[in-house]
Amino acid sequence: MTKTIAPVAALLLSVAILLTGNGLQGTLLPIRAQIENFSTLDIGVLGSAYYLGFAAGCFLSPLLVRRVGHIRAFTVMSAIASAAVLVHAVYTYSWVWWLVRGITGFCFAALYTVIESWLNERATNETRGVVMSAYLIIQLTVITLGQMMITLSDPGQFALFALSSILVSVAAVPVAMTAAAVPAPIEQVKVRIRHLISVSPVGFAGSFAHGIAGGAFWSLAPLFGSRNGMGVSGIAVFMSITVIAGAAGQYPIGRLSDRIDRRSVLIFACAGAALAAIGMIFFRFLSVHSMHAFAAMWGFFAFPLYAIAVAHANDYADPREFVEVSSGLLLVYGAGAVLGPIIASQAIEGFGPDGLFGTTAAVHLILIGFVIWRMQRRKAPEVHGKFVESLQATNTASATFDIETHWRLPEEIPFTAASDSPMVPGDESEEAGGDRDTKD
């Protein structure tokens, strides 16, 4: 284990420090925004701005890495992200926060690009599972730690912004000082949107739906807690319980999806998340313990959905397309995450705090209906990939996005009764999906 982790130890240390600062910032900003009397829509746009910047970073940051190298890109993006944190504390105008939050999203897309491409190059086929598991464990642990740091000082003061900025800055030190070999330039990956839908509409829809629900939760859950009478420490506990439960749900739900049709598991997980959201709406008033219980239930079922959607899509993709499919679904998730906070913020304006989990419940129920419909049109694959392999493919998805968007109008894309994909005449993707009938 030590020999496996040693080549990437400095990078993992940087990851731990960096994501601790980001975890603190993610909880701090919605709380401070409410203190500054931002509207619910303002706070929702704040969350959308981050994901919009993140999506832009997915396109452009690999070009930066190829130009200046991994280490310089990491240090530059850390410096900009660190400065961005402080701007929030100095200029408390909503439009300034939107702009700066978008810049932060761009920076973290670049940082994730460096981190994940570096990890994947240093790992071998024999050690990749251990390395990526360590990476995911560190992610979830330190994000939770960062969220709990919100209790160290008053969110209305400067200290927590300074602490987050310090952590993001210091994260560059282990990477900048490492003597490890610099990774090779990042591979360019072409993402074909039409082909991605043809491979798996369920994977596409699942990623988009999870983006809406997840983006709404990460952006507005602190506001939900505040409007339900939670103090700063209560919000930190609420967020941490959800994240920890989400981590706990990855393995059992993922393993279940390796044994039966993943679409059935998607329906099961969506149903669990929807029930948890409905329970939160109607029964959270019973006690703080009931609120924590429903938060844990929601995290347990909702957080694994994206990985299940990627795994399902990879079941139908050619193995050579795994990185392309995972990259494309990451982009689809980002698009959903841009829309989610805006949709949920409007729901909160109309229905109060219940609008957040009402939005997630509606999204999961709609996805259930779509998956059931698709199950009637296509059989499950005879051979499953492994859930862990799909997680690894997802973590390998940091690459230049070269988008092809040769859309057709819906009526021009005929469907066959046994197919889960639009049949596009002459499209080579039809062969990659296994049992797909051709149009009569």
At 266-317, the pLDDT tens digits run 999 999 999 999 999 998 888 889 999 999 999 999 998 988 888 888 887 7
Residue 264, both tokens: 């059935």
pLDDT given at position 421: 33
Q: Are 134 and 3 in contact (CB under 8 A)?
A: no
Count other Cβ atoms within 10 Å, centred on residue 420.
27
Tell whether the model's pLDDT for residue 97 goes beyond 70.
yes
In the chain, the domains with their CATH numbers are 1-177 (1.20.1250.20), 187-432 (1.20.1250.20)
CA nearest neighbour of 145 among 301, 299, 25: 25
Check the CA dihedral 120-123-129-132 and report its sign: negative
Residue 5 and residue 13: Cα distance in Å, rounded? 11
Q: Are 27 and 221 in contact (CB under 8 A)?
A: no
pLDDT at position 374, please?
Answer: 87
Structure tokens at 1: 């284990």
**pLDDT-based confidence at residue 325 (cuts at 50, 70, 90):** confident
Cα 321 to Cα 146, 227, 262, 393, 425, distances in angstroms:
36, 45, 19, 10, 20
Q: According to the model, what pLDDT value does residue 424 have?
A: 34
What mean pLDDT is predicted for residues 334-338?
92
Q: How far is CA 54 from CA 157, 199, 401, in A?
A: 27, 25, 13
Residue 32: half-sphere exposure toward Cβ, Cα within 13 Å: 27
pLDDT at 231 over 60: yes
Say what the pLDDT of residue 184 is.
72
| pTM > 0.75 | yes
Which residues are CB-neighbours of 66 under 8 A, at least 6 positions away?
A: 185, 186
At 380, is the pLDDT very low, low, confident or very high (cuts 50, 70, 90)? low
C-beta separation of 364 from 209 below 8 A? yes
- pLDDT above 80 (res 387): no
- Joined together, the tokens standing for residue 323 give 């990185």
The reported pLDDT for the residue numbered 58 is 81
Report pLDDT for 426.
Answer: 36
DSSP 437: P
Q: What is the pLDDT of residue 302?
A: 95
DSSP lists the bridge partners of residue 400 as 188
Tokens 């059931």 appear where?
372
Name the phi and psi angles at 190, rounded to 5: -90, 130
pLDDT digits (tens, 9 = 90+) for 235-272: 999 999 999 998 888 888 888 888 888 889 999 999 99
> Which residues make beta-bridge pairs with 189?
401
Would you state the pLDDT for residue 391?
52
Neighbours of 310 (CB within 10 A): 31
How many helices (H) and strands (E) are present in the chain, helices listed first? Answer: 17, 2
How far apart CA 184 and CA 120 sit, in angstroms, is 11
Taking residues 35-55, report their average pLDDT. 93
Phi, psi of 189 (to 5 degrees): -125, 130
Q: Write down the mean pLDDT value for the chain.
A: 82
Give the start-end residues of each E strand in 139-195: 188-192
Question: Mean pLDDT highest for which of 2-16, 64-78, 175-189, 376-390?
Answer: 64-78
Q: How confident is the model at residue 134 (pLDDT cuts 50, 70, 90)?
A: confident
How close are the terminal C-alpha atoms of the chain, in Å? 55
Segment of 65-74, 179-188, 237-246, 385-394 carrying the highest mean pLDDT: 237-246
